[in-house]
Structure 1
């Protein structure tokens, strides 16, 4: 293994909570909780108390009283008071004098010890009196970005560091400078990104516990902690004087920073980010100043939660209003897809996506920036095969579905949602690739340098030139609010589809009942009419035999007989139509070649169409009721012969072909054709065109054709041009 191959998590393994040292601007004494003896001291304690630090070890706490010029100062009493109150917040900082110099005593708890930290008092700061004004000015920001910018300005006024940055942690742990206030001569860091390794995991955990962190001077030597306890380092998790990781010190030196101060920002219980303060000369701010700054951080943290919640609520409200409008469209518009896509507020407004596609009833409709239709159909099939859930989303589509690399610029992220029990019916929102350049403060891959002993150790970056990393194949992540919005729209659409399905079911039941009543009525009336009609015809024919009748009388009786014949034919057709609705379909294989030849022979004889040419193409057998199918082709061929009888050379063609799962027959003639004004009336009962009134007919035949074909779950349609002929098509599903 190459010696320079090092796991970047080394920084995460550094035990920064037990550094064994303290910063030298103060000193530390640790008191054992059990016997109240001095268990640890920082080596520089002797410099402040004018006594060797090691001489203090293992002595009782009472021995400390002689080193402070305060007769009323009793550390034992302070510890007891803190234990009773279960907190030292009301005690710290406790003012003391160390060799006539003002110090603060700050008491914190360690695992087995009490930490007594002594820090000098800095008289240059009176931050607490300014906190209220600063907080008020900061909170003027109405948005998150304005709030952060205002916070950077106010913190700089408070502590006057050269550079104040608001540093936000992103999902993967790396950070971004989202606000900045600095001296004019300094290079801006706003917008720069920093690798997650700059602030390792255990450091982020400490930032949640210690809301402020001061490094007064990177060039001073830390003071070691001494103890008589072997191999038992002092846990300084709660200590303010805790020494800093050597890697981080070198990191700051490489940046030219002499002093740094950070304030933690906690939102919803998690570390949201830091107010990171840099100074390019040594700078110390005392405990009270840091506490005032911490208060600013706590106010900003609460405001962040509130402002972010406000912005989230605005997004949710926008999505909710879209859902309400789309629901209104669905209730008003005839077609579902039109309701969702044909208005100013439409499916695209359900998320922050830049495009959306909806597949419904085997049709595709898109809005905005989307892949081509073929790619969408392919993607929809992939989603169906790879997700059992009603919703699926990703912000790295091309890494999961490789064909998506061809359109990653417009669809690196997708959010898909089914809208019915049919898995082929789906809505898909798209987000484009983030071809934005992330500006890193130096290469995020920390260089590894060999140490003197030949082992490879991580060292901080030595160059802070902007290093760019192009983030590709990735879109912005889908927000929880977007996912919730899509699920809400899905509920609305599913409810609408179910409502329509129920309405159609009820209508079908009513229609079926109406059909049955109509069939019964038609059959009864037609049957009852035939008896008196036969009598009328019979008596008229008898009267015609009377030789005493004059020509006018005979002409009138001929008209009665002709009318009776026509009425009889019409009744017969109505009975046929009624019979179609009432008869059960008996499926069998129908030899179509034989059937068409038989029908053609009968039709040619009935119409005496000797001059008409019959062209029989390919025949394909059908599965269906033979009697009903015979009615279909009898009507179609009869019409073709009838309506082409006026041309010099009538031609009737009958042929079949397979198309997908259907067998399609066409019956074509070169007759008079159909005026396009009457296209919508062709299959209606008793409807006939004005140009065919001289040709015998009832307007029932094509209605029979339509009903028979639909009862076989098939389709019927036509193409026609006036004076150029017609072609009727019937399609039967292959069973």
Structure 2
């Protein structure tokens, strides 16, 4: 693995001007095939001095048949290195060579390596070994098993002492993820190497050349000799793809420090990028035959191909799992009435959707936490910060504290964050969290030793002296988010948006149908009620006449029957009037205007005070009510109905009713409704409260004006309440009491009634765009809440 220190060193890596001594290099012109440059060792291998070969045609060395073969190779469009067999006739005998030919920008390079007739591994043996290795590799199921077996098989083929599979990360640093070695050799499995060990330029060379062989790192490099007075002789010869390219001194020292004398490096390519290396080490000089070299290259290509398949297969299996989970979530959401419950139940499903340990669902100011998460306040602050970081509705990091320093305080739950923005208009988010993973990185020596700062401040890369295990603890990081997990989160957002749009369309259609149906029902109720009143009035009148004029001829049973007819007709007229009232509420436009609720309520209380002189009741108003936009007549009916019920359904000697309001902030503080599920504890009458028998509390004009200005300028919704100390309502009746003609008691108890007052009240509140609900404790009392838009 080649290391160098300056820009000039980077360039010298491609144009070193020398080769390794175990072969010969010829640089040829094209198409003449004149010898322009040669390595200064031709006498040893070719029996010719360099000066005798320069400017000579290639036919000076090879017979016409072989020259023609070489020309045929050059007619093909190839970007790599081609292999061929050649020979030269010498005075003594024929000398056979393994030839390697490739084309550069300015010349053709032919490299010759003498064949070793005493090689212990024949072509047949290598072929069988490769065939058997491929068969075994195909049977593996996991990526780790595949790479480990690849290392073992290549060690058998090369007979090197150590074979490592080395994987690059996104920053260029690497890790030994598989290893096959002799027992006495120190293990490197699991060790990490900094990016400076194999800089980007060296990685590019490995990407272009599939196999790099260095038989002897200590061997003296052979310089190139160029033709005199040739127009290109001053241009450095590009040896990027040269089989015999000499080794950079920094690389030599690096490997010698590791105790290595010979190396073979096989490149692993995935998606046309350098994924990793298979590095073979030997402690003594060792060469491999061309057959073994070809086998390494072939196996490297096969491993690269299968590597992509194995990685894809693992990704596909994981992606399929995520898609299955996402389908379950989407189905739950599409069928559920409560979005949050469908999303967070069961909890593991939401977490497994992206492989998280915790999650937070934020919808319109409410946060639901799942699993291991920061506190709610921390989540809110995190959302505020992340709003500035979100791009295309997503934000993710595996080291949150590097970007958001406060995250160090909750590193145990959220060192990693994946945030999904569902809506840009409202605060709709899903946040997934991953805890800190304290990783002990085992480096092959201290990585900082490869960086040397000179006296002038310049930085130089240099070989590290030690490769003993050196540990570094990495903090404030989580497991990184996979692309499939990010895609899964984004797909969930798109699905949720689609479901919301579909439900909005369905709801709009349903609302249109309901509106039409309500109009028809209201018209029917009005017509029916109106038409029924005339015959009913006749029944009442004739029954009354019979009682007045013919009572003397009727017995007691007849009189009782007529009295029952009169009573029932009166009750029926009351019910018909109620239906007419409801139908009018549905048809008539409400008259919205600024209404001082203090004056309105004072008028309502005066009516009760005048009509119940003997009743013992108290109405408490803790503070003046605000001025609101409403229909004053209808709102008077709301207060009248609620106060009437509060006093009617009360069997205490001392009856009281409290009327007031709370804003959004007071809901949070829990100001109203002792025992209330929504707002917690409620204070009883405060110092400003007034206990009065049917009298209204009158505040100063200055205080009322100030309160009304606050109410009119506030954007927060106001919730009004009417609270009593009556008999209370059982929990299972809290919803049914608002239905028309629904009574919880017999006609004889608590003063009778039609059971329509709360239905009318609900209708009025809804016509104002608000809602009404009740919270109650049996035997203690009830609190009716309502809002107005």
SS class of match (1:464): coil
The alignment status of 1:664 with 2:719, answered yes or no, reads yes
- 1:575-614 equivalences under 5 Å are 575-614=580-619
User: After superposition, what is the alpha-carbon deviation per residue over 1:452-504, rounded to whole angstroms, capped at 9, x for unaligned?
Assistant: 99997432111222223333343333333223322333333223222322232
- The match for 2:70 is 79
Q: 8 Å contact 2:83–2:98 — kept in the other structure? A: no
Residue 656 of structure 2: which of 647, 651, 657 is its match? 651
Asked if structure 1 preserves the Cα contact closer than 8 Å seen for 2:347 and 2:370, the reply is no
Q: Which residue of 2 aligns with 1:215?
A: 214
Output aligned runs, 1:337-376, within 5 Å.
337-343=340-346, 346-360=349-363, 362-376=365-379
C-alpha distance in structure 2 between counterparts of 1:674 and 1:296, whole Å: 81
C-alpha distance in structure 2 between counterparts of 1:442 and 1:638, whole Å: 86
C-alpha contact (below 8 Å) 2:595/2:630 kept by paired residues: yes
What SS is found at the alignment partner of 1:77? helix
- What residue number does 2:304 align with? 301
Pick closer, same or farther for the CA change 1:454–1:623 going to 2, 3 Å. Answer: closer
Note the C-alpha offset of 1:438: 1.8
Quick check: 1:580–1:628 contact (8 Å CA) kept in 2?
no
How far did 1:89 drift? 6.8
The correspondence for 2:728, drawn from 669, 673, 676, is 673
Local SS of the residue matching 2:753: coil
CA offsets per residue over residues 382-412 of structure 1, 9 Å max, x none? Answer: 4445436233333333333333333233323
Q: Secondary structure at the match of 1:478?
A: coil
Partner of 2:29: 32
- Deviation larger for 435-444 or 691-700: 691-700
Q: 1:290/1:95 Cα in 2 relative to 1: closer, same or farther (>3 Å)?
A: farther
My pick for the range that moved more, 82-91 or 663-672, is 82-91
8 Å CA contact retained: 1:8, 1:197? no
Residue of structure 1 in register with 2:552 after alignment: 548
CA distance 1:92–1:423, change in 2 (3 Å): farther
535, 539, 554: which one aligns with 2:538: 535
CA displacement 1:121-175 (0-9 Å, x = unmatched): 2322322342212222233221111110110000011111010001112111111
Question: Which whole-Å CA distance do the structure 2 matches of 1:246 and 1:727 have between them?
Answer: 88
Matches within 5 A, 1:201-212: 201-212=200-211
User: 1:125 is matched with which residue?
Assistant: 121
Q: Which moved more, 1:161-170 or 1:55-64?
A: 55-64
1:721 to 1:139, Cα distance in 2 relative to 1, 3 A: closer
**Contact conserved, 1:9 with 1:197, CA < 8 A, in 2?**
no
How many angstroms apart in 1 are the aligned matches of 2:497 and 2:454? 66
In 1, the alpha carbon distance for the partners of 2:330 and 2:499 equals 8
The within-5 A match list for 1:417-428 is: 417-420=420-423, 422-428=425-431
2:165 matched to which residue of 1? 166
Please tell me whether residue 188 in structure 1 is matched to residue 187 in structure 2. Answer: yes
Deviations along 1:206-244, one digit per CA (max 9) or x if unpaired, are: 212221111111122111112236532222122111101
On the 8 A contact 1:93/1:288 being kept in 2, the answer is no
Q: CA separation in 2, counterparts of 1:86 and 1:666?
A: 88
Say which SS state the counterpart of residue 61 (structure 2) adopts. helix
Q: Distance in 1 between matches of 2:485 and 2:753?
A: 62
CA separation of 1:35/1:535 partners in 2, compared to 1, >3 Å: closer, same or farther?
Answer: closer
Q: Report the TM-score when normalising by structure 2.
A: 0.85
Deviation at 1:449, TM superposition (A): 5.7
CA contact (8 A) 1:138 1:154 kept: no
The partner residue of 1:520 within 517, 523, 530 is 523
C-alpha separation in 2, matches of 1:609 and 1:120: 127
Please tell me whether residue 242 in structure 1 is matched to residue 238 in structure 2: no
Partners of 1:650 and 1:369 in 2: how far apart? 50
Q: 1:698 maps to what in 2?
A: 754
Q: Deviations over 1:19-57 (max 9, x none)?
A: 111111222232233543322122222333455433433
In the alignment, what sits opposite 1:708? 764
SS of corresponding position for 1:415: strand
Alignment of 1:41-60 (within 5 A): 41-60=38-57
CA distance in structure 1 between the aligned counterparts of 2:779 and 2:412, rounded to whole angstroms = 54
Residue-pair matches, total: 720
1:720–1:204 CA distance, 2 compared to 1 (3 A): closer
Partner of 2:109: 115
1:630 correspondence with 2:636 = yes
Equivalent in the alignment of 1:491: 494
Q: Note if contact 2:441-2:471 (Cα within 8 Å) is conserved in structure 1.
A: yes
- With the length of structure 1 as denominator, give the TM-score of the two structures: 0.90
The question of whether the paired residues in 1 share the 8 Å contact of 2:734 and 2:775 is answered with no
Structure-2 separation of matches of 1:283 and 1:610: 114
1:280: which partner in 2? 283
Contact conserved, 1:450 with 1:457, CA < 8 A, in 2?
yes
The superposition leaves residues 620-666 of structure 1 with CA deviations (integer Å, 9 ceiling, x where unpaired) of: 2222111110110011111122223x432222222333334232332
CA drift at 1:554? 4.9
Structure 1 spans left out of the alignment, 5+ residues: 1-6, 66-71
Distance 1:293 1:658, change over 3 A: closer
* Contact 2:399/2:415 (<8 A) preserved: yes
| Whole-Å separation in 2 of the counterparts to 1:286 and 1:503 | 74
Structure 1's 316 and 214: CA in aligned 2 closer, same or farther, altered over 3 A? same
Pick the aligned partner of 1:390 from 379, 388, 393: 393
For residues 405-438 of structure 1, give each alpha carbon's deviation from its aligned partner in whole angstroms, at most 9, with x where no partner exists: 3323332333333335644222223333342122
1:554, 1:409 → 2: CA distance? 86
Give the aligned CA root-mean-square deviation in angstroms: 2.9
| Aligned CA distance change for structure 1 residues 590 and 722 (closer, same or farther; 3 Å) | same
Q: For residues 88 and 109 of structure 2, what CA distance do their matches in structure 1 show?
A: 16
Q: Distance in 1 between matches of 2:330 and 2:717?
A: 37
Could you tell me whether the CA contact under 8 Å between 1:322 and 1:345 is conserved in 2? no
Identify which range, 235-244 or 78-87, moves more after superposition: 78-87
8 Å CA contact retained: 2:420, 2:493: yes
- SS of 1:297's partner is helix
SS at match of 1:138: helix
Match of 1:105 in 2: 99
On the 8 A contact 1:357/1:429 being kept in 2, the answer is yes
Among 782, 786, 789, the residue aligned to 1:726: 782
2:13 matches 1:16: yes
> 1:596-626 deviations in whole A, cap 9, x for unaligned?
1211121233344442223333222222111
CA distance in 1 between counterparts of 2:269 and 2:89 reads 35
State how far apart, in whole Å, the 2-side matches of 1:169 and 1:511 are.
Answer: 63
Q: Which runs of 5+ in 2 are unaligned?
A: 666-715
Residue 435 (1) aligns with residue 490 (2): no
CA contact (8 A) 1:351 1:482 kept: yes
Distance 1:596 1:450 in 2: 84
Partner of 2:508: 505
Instruction: Give the secondary structure class of the aligned counterpart of 1:445.
Output: helix
Alignment partner of 2:742: what SS? coil
Q: CA deviation at 1:177?
A: 0.8
Contact 2:722 2:784 in 1 (8 A): yes
Could you say if the C-alpha distance between residues 104 and 522 of structure 1 is closer, same or farther in structure 2, counting changes exceeding 3 Å? closer
